[in-house]
């Protein structure tokens, strides 16, 4: 592998993290990195003092353009739009889950409130910890303009940002209890697990069954899961635990095929939000071998 390829490969995880946080789509992030690699390969590297800064600039600007296009397309999206999940086998040990809140489906969904420029400035400052001068150079704006973009982004996100940090062990325990209660239609257990103002969001992309709008309130969600139990009563459906965007999440399989990816937001005791991705296009890149993790709980026992 030559020197340019080595440089790019070393920076690839960081560049992918930026592209994915910007777009919320693994496919878009991979396309952006491919385009960035071509530009890097063709560039006069004798004039590039800091490869990381150059590549971060290219990826960020490509991501801004891609996000602008995506926002126009999403105006016609059927139902709720959720990010494409990143799914891996369950991590060992659980301590690997620290500092991953900014990758969660809940956080990425929250970022949809921001304009592309606000999102870029906010992520470069808060997630990648660059100073305002660096960000200004990357985005071609003044430091004052960058400070204003970051300030506006924080203001937009403030009311809905997560206020609680639970341990990985608490997250996993809550997820397991939720899987058992929801799959069995245990209404009392679900009511004990859900915050009274809990929100359920699902993304089917108009291709599979999903709620077109969010469902609000624990009582409504309990009734909804009772309907799901009846719907899947005669089907070989089970849940398995995997890592979804860096946190424990649930994979639901129906006849051995991945049916949805689910993640929850909580305060360590009660669930505040449930995000369910069912759009087949957003499940297509998930490793089929994860189905061999084994069932956590079957819907019919």
Over residues 79-134, the pLDDT tens digits come to 999 999 999 876 544 344 334 557 899 999 999 999 999 999 999 999 999 999 99
Q: Which fold has domain 168-298?
A: Nuclear Transport Factor 2; Chain: A, (3.10.450)
Give the separation between CA 120 and CA 250, rounded to whole angstroms. Answer: 30
- Write down the CATH number for the domain with range 3-79+114-158: 1.20.140.160
Give the separation between CA 74 and CA 81, rounded to whole angstroms. Answer: 8
CB of 137 closer than 8 Å to CB of 121: no
Half-sphere exposure of 41 (CA within 13 A, CB side): 10
DSSP states of 10-39: HHHHHHHHHHHHHHS-HHHHHHHHHHHHHH
The tokens describing 146, both together, are 């960058």
What's the whole-number mean pLDDT along residues 67-72? 93
Q: Which residue has the higher pLDDT, 140 or 88?
A: 140
Q: What is the pLDDT of residues 147-173, one digit of tens each?
A: 999 999 999 998 766 656 677 788 889
- Give the domain ranges of the chain: 3-79+114-158, 168-298
Q: With 60 as the cut, is the pLDDT of residue 280 above it?
A: yes
* Percent of the chain residues topping a pLDDT of 90: 66
Q: What is the pTM of this model?
A: 0.89
């Amino acid at each position: 592998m030559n020197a340019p390829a080595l440089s790019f490969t070393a920076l690839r995880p960081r560049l992918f993290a930026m592209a994915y946080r910007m777009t919320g789509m693994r496919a878009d992030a991979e396309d952006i990195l491919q385009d960035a690699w071509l530009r890097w390969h063709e560039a006069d590297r004798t004039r590039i003092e800091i490869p990381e800064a150059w590549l971060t600039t290219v990826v960020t600007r490509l991501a801004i353009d891609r996000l602008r296009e995506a926002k126009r397309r999403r105006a016609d999206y059927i139902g709720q739009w959720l990010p494409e999940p990143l799914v891996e086998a369950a991590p060992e040990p659980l301590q690997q889950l620290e500092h991953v809140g900014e990758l969660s489906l809940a956080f990425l969904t929250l970022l949809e409130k921001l304009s592309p420029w606000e999102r870029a400035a906010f992520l470069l400052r808060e997630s990648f910890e660059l100073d305002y001068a660096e960000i200004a150079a990357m985005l071609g704006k003044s430091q004052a303009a960058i400070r204003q973009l970051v300030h506006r982004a924080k203001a937009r996100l403030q009311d809905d940002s997560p206020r609680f940090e639970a341990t990985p062990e608490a997250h996993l325990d809550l997820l397991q209890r939720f899987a058992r209660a929801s799959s069995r239609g245990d209404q009392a257990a679900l009511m004990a697990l859900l915050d009274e103002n809990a929100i359920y969001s699902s993304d089917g992309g108009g291709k599979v069954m999903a709620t077109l709008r969010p469902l609000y309130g624990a009582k409504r969600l309990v009734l909804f899961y009772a309907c799901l139990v009846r719907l899947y009563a005669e089907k070989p459906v089970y849940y398995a635990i995997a890592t979804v965007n860096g946190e424990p999440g649930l994979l639901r399989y129906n006849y051995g095929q991945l049916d949805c990816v689910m993640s929850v937001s909580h305060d360590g005791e009660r669930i505040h939000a449930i995000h369910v991705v069912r759009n087949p296009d957003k499940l297509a890149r998930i490793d089929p071998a994860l189905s061999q993790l084994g069932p956590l709980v079957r819907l019919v026992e």
